[in-house]
Amino acid sequence: MTTRCLRTGTPGLPRSAAVHSSGTPRRDRAFLAVLALLLAIGVITAVTRGGGNPQKTSAQKPADAAEGASGDAGSAAMAALRYQAGDDDQYAERAAAGFSHPLYAAVPGGAVATAKRVAAWRGEIEKAASVDDSPVDADTLEALVYLESAGRPNASATGKISGAIGLTQIVGGTANDLLGMNVDLARSQDYTDELAKVTKQIARWDARGSTVAATRGRKRLEALRIARAKTDGRFVPATALAATVRYLEIAKDKLGREDLALTSYHMGIGNLQNVLAAYGRKSVSYVQLYFDVDPKRAPKAYRILSQFQDDSATYYWRILAAKSIMKQYREDAGALAATAKLVTSKASREDLMHPPDANPGFKDGDALQEAEDDGELIPLPIAALNANGVAVSPAMGELAGRLKAPRSRYRALRRGSLATLVTIGAAVKDLTGGKKVLVATSSVRDLGYQSLLQSETVQATHAYSLHTSGWAVDVSRSYASTRQAQMFQFVLTRMQALNLISFVKEPEAIHFTAADDTEARLGPILEVALGRS
């Protein structure tokens, strides 16, 4: 029998999608070891063709379109996106950070207020998680409460009693059919409708200053809530938490692992079993399952995972992100507030990746030229980009003339950002198997160029822009095919899961920002693209 999802939506979060994550030496060695093998193969190939330049330092410019050769970095790019056995904890840590933005930006009152609400239920959470052979510890169950209801015991995902309800968002059918809660959905709905009516009456009485009537109304509300809780245990936090633990016990028994049981809380046991079957395993760590599934390596499993449009595939990472938030709240609420301020300043985590105070924008064209001369910025290598699925829009830098500068001045990136762009293009090209390219429309800008852009288009941010420090890239959302669009989305999401980028969809472009460790992690792929390996 296919077990249904426990819930269908998260009232505290959107149904779409900070903690810095730094790679440990073990994880980085495992990551770079794979690339080293691929690069070694590339070196052999280059030598047999009579080519191959020695690897240069980051302070040296790569060959531009008129100089040197370019290589196909597709295999190296795909290797960087795939699971490599080693340190699953680092994969999980990076994925939790990569998908954490909504847990700061979309929760009622913000992360600190939400953490405070959730922490108020800690006693009930610890009691629920203390049962014999509990499949979940208190910290993880607390994180689930953060993610599901933002700590609100009367939360409703759909507004309907049959939908996901309460502190842990249990669906009516699952409550009755799987968890034995004996919820009277009809009576619960009647009480809920009456609660809505009385709430509106109280608002009218308050507006008219009818204090006595409003007080009577609030007493009536409390009586209705108590009556509803007697017919629907999902509105009783202790009961809901105990039921959630029962679900996780059932899921762990069927799936064999805590991480899979937690994933199934959103995806459903049967759905997750289907993914595992398509992958060819009955039980495997979710880290391996997620990062080893892609459109080429495991197409059937990928098709199933990609059909979920409700964040099911990333649910486990968001549980871990919520766990990290709650930990930071307990240890240093002020630090959490500072983190939340950076995370929510933009529609992505880019300001947390590169705080404005530590990354001042380039002042003018002279500053850009100096940065190129010093190797801080790298001119876009057109031939290498073209060979790896990326074209540079002729319009890039189109406002340069008004600043008495060549367009080439505004066609450069930091090495890490350039390596990221190459990796994305090469991976999409490898997955599509075609010759069509993505089109990069914007790279570095100086503050003067950014000011001009703000006067030209409403889409230009008036806040600090990572373009002015060379970390950000825009890629056009005009695609050669549906397949290209789908594979581009897959690569972006996978790189977000690796915490290598943060990205947002703008009306005409995908805007992404590379993390500060991309030069170290993706630099070897850039070397392949430049024909140096």
As a dihedral over the C-alpha atoms of residue 410, residue 488, residue 98, residue 355, rounded to 10 degrees, the angle is: 10
Residue 46 has what pLDDT? 32
Residue 186 contacts residue 254 (beta carbons within 8 Å) = no
Residue 254: exposed, middle, or buried by beta-carbon count in 10 A (0-12, 13-18, 19+)? Answer: middle
Residue 102 contacts residue 321 (beta carbons within 8 Å) = no
Among candidates 151, 150, 152, 174, which has minimal Cα distance to 163? 174
Among candidates 135, 145, 139, which has minimal Cα distance to 245? 135
| Domain topology for 1-24+88-183+232-344 | Lysozyme (1.10.530)
If pLDDT is split at 50, 70 and 90, which confidence band does 460 have? low
Residue 11 has what pLDDT? 52
Residue 19 has pLDDT above 80, yes or no: no
Amino acid at the residue 174 = T
CATH 3.30.70 fits 347-529, yes or no: no
Residue 347 has pLDDT above 50, yes or no: yes
Exposure b/e, 109-144, CB count within 10 A at least 16 = b:
ebbbebbebbbebbebbeebbeeeebbbebbbbbbb
Residue 461 has what pLDDT? 67
Residue 318: exposed, middle, or buried by beta-carbon count in 10 A (0-12, 13-18, 19+)? Answer: buried
Q: What pTM value is reported for the model?
A: 0.86
Q: How far, CA to CA in Å, does 368 sit from each of 24, 404, 406? A: 33, 14, 12
pLDDT (tens digit per residue) in 379-409: 999 999 999 999 999 999 999 999 999 999 9
Q: What is the C-alpha to C-alpha distance for residues 437 and 450, in angstroms, rounded to an integer? A: 27
Among candidates 308, 309, 275, 307, which has minimal Cα distance to 292? 275
The phi and psi torsions of 107 (rounded to 5 degrees) equal -95, 145
Residue 130 has pLDDT above 90, yes or no: yes
What separation, in Å, do the N-terminal and C-terminal C-alpha atoms of the chain show? 53
If pLDDT is split at 50, 70 and 90, which confidence band does 463 have? confident
pLDDT mean across residues, the chain: 88
Residue 402: exposed, middle, or buried by beta-carbon count in 10 A (0-12, 13-18, 19+)? Answer: exposed
Residue 435 has what pLDDT? 84
| Ranges of each domain in the chain | 1-24+88-183+232-344, 197-231, 347-529
pLDDT (tens digit per residue) in 42-87: 332 332 322 223 223 333 333 343 344 578 999 999 999 999 998 8
In the block, tokens 């590379």 appear at: 514
Name beta bridge partners: 472.
Answer: 513
In the block, tokens 């030496």 appear at: 25
pLDDT (tens digit per residue) in 282-339: 989 999 999 999 999 999 999 999 998 779 999 999 999 999 999 999 999 999 999 9
Q: What is the C-alpha to C-alpha distance for residues 364 and 447, in angstroms, rounded to an integer? A: 6
How many percent of the chain have pLDDT more than 70? 86
Residue 13 has pLDDT above 60, yes or no: no
Strand pairing of 390-392 and 438-442? parallel
Q: Per-residue DSSP letters for 174-225? A: HHHHTS-----HHHHHHHHHHHHHHHHHHHHHHHHT-HHHHHHHHHHHHHHH
